């Protein structure tokens, strides 16, 4: 019997991008999301796609999605072996145009639709996931695609244990500002309606 907290078998797992570090590699936030998504992917039915989002930011040499894909393949081979890496590689799908969560929601929808998939997991850290789920649901629900939020745990606890209070404050303020932008867009859209 399936646990009520567990999503049904997923056909796509969307991993939201995060900024790269100064070496052009996924930072702690991106790695945490990827490791969580890998665990879910490993327990998913064969053929589950692993869709990574994130475009190329000014001053970087690659997209977040491409750097995250390289990292996840290397980590998989080093920790689970070349056989699992070979299973994962053809399941990877990259969305490299988005520079924010709203664009990721809009740009991943056609990719998921082209795959003909209906049960989709959405992976991000806890702080970001509520807003991400809201934005993705606005696009996906209209198309009959079921979206399951899958929070990667541990990021806030890590920064708290490391006494990186300034970083935690910055993350909370950034997320609060992003919510204000979402709400502002909703108000603007309501005013435009006849």
Contacts of 7 (CB under 8 A, 6+ apart): 119, 121, 148, 150
Q: Is 105 left (phi over 0), alpha (psi -120 to 50) or beta?
A: alpha
pLDDT tens, 20-67? Answer: 988 999 998 899 999 999 999 998 888 899 999 999 998 889 999 999
pLDDT, position 4: 43
CATH number of the domain bearing residue 78: 3.40.50.620
137: which 2 tokens? 């649901």
CA angle 77, 36, 104 (to 5 degrees): 105
Q: How confident is the model at residue 159 (pLDDT cuts 50, 70, 90)?
A: low
pLDDT above 90 for 14 = yes
Q: How confident is the model at residue 192 (pLDDT cuts 50, 70, 90)?
A: confident
Residue 18 lies in a domain: yes
User: What's the whole-model pTM score?
Assistant: 0.83
Residue 70 lies in a domain: yes
172: which 2 tokens? 């909370």
Is 70 in a helix, a strand, or coil?
A: helix
Q: How many domains does the chain have?
A: 1
Is 146 in a helix, a strand, or coil?
A: strand
pLDDT, position 50: 97
Q: How far apart are CA 158 and CA 61, in angstroms?
A: 29
Residue 176 lies in a domain: no
140: which 2 tokens? 């996906």
Q: How confident is the model at residue 156 (pLDDT cuts 50, 70, 90)?
A: low
pLDDT, position 77: 97
14: which 2 tokens? 């969307």
Residue 19 lies in a domain: yes
Contacts of 10 (CB under 8 A, 6+ apart): 40, 44, 45, 48, 119, 120, 121, 148
| Average pLDDT score over residue span 109-128 | 90
User: Domain limits at 123?
Assistant: 12-162
pLDDT tens, 65-118? Answer: 999 999 999 999 999 999 999 999 999 999 999 999 999 999 999 999 999 878
Residue 92 lies in a domain: yes
Residue 107 lies in a domain: yes
Instruction: Provide the sign of the torsion angle of the four alpha carbons 6, 9, 15, 16, taken in this order.
Output: negative
Q: How far apart are CA 3 and CA 86, in angstroms?
A: 30
């Amino acid at each position: 019997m399936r646990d009520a907290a567990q999503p049904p078998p997923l056909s796509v797992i969307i991993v939201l991008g995060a900024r790269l570090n100064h070496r052009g590699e996924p930072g702690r936030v991106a790695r945490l999301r990827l490791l969580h998504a890998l665990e879910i992917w490993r327990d998913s039915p064969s053929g589950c796609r692993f869709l990574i989002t994130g475009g190329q930011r000014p001053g970087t040499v690659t997209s977040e999605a491409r750097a995250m894909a390289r990292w996840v393949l290397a980590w998989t081979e080093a920790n689970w072996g070349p056989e699992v890496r070979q299973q994962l590689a053809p399941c990877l799908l990259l969305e490299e145009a988005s520079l924010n969560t709203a664009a990721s929601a809009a740009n991943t929808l056609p990719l998921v639709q082209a795959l003909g998939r209906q049960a989709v997991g959405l992976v991000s850290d806890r702080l970001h996931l509520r807003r991400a789920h809201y934005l993705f649901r606005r696009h996906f629900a209209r198309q009959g695609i079921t979206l399951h939020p899958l929070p990667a745990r541990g990021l806030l606890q890590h920064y708290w244990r490391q006494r990186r209070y300034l970083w935690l404050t910055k993350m909370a303020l950034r997320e609060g500002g992003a919510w204000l932008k979402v709400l502002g867009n909703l108000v603007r859209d309501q005013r435009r309606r006849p």
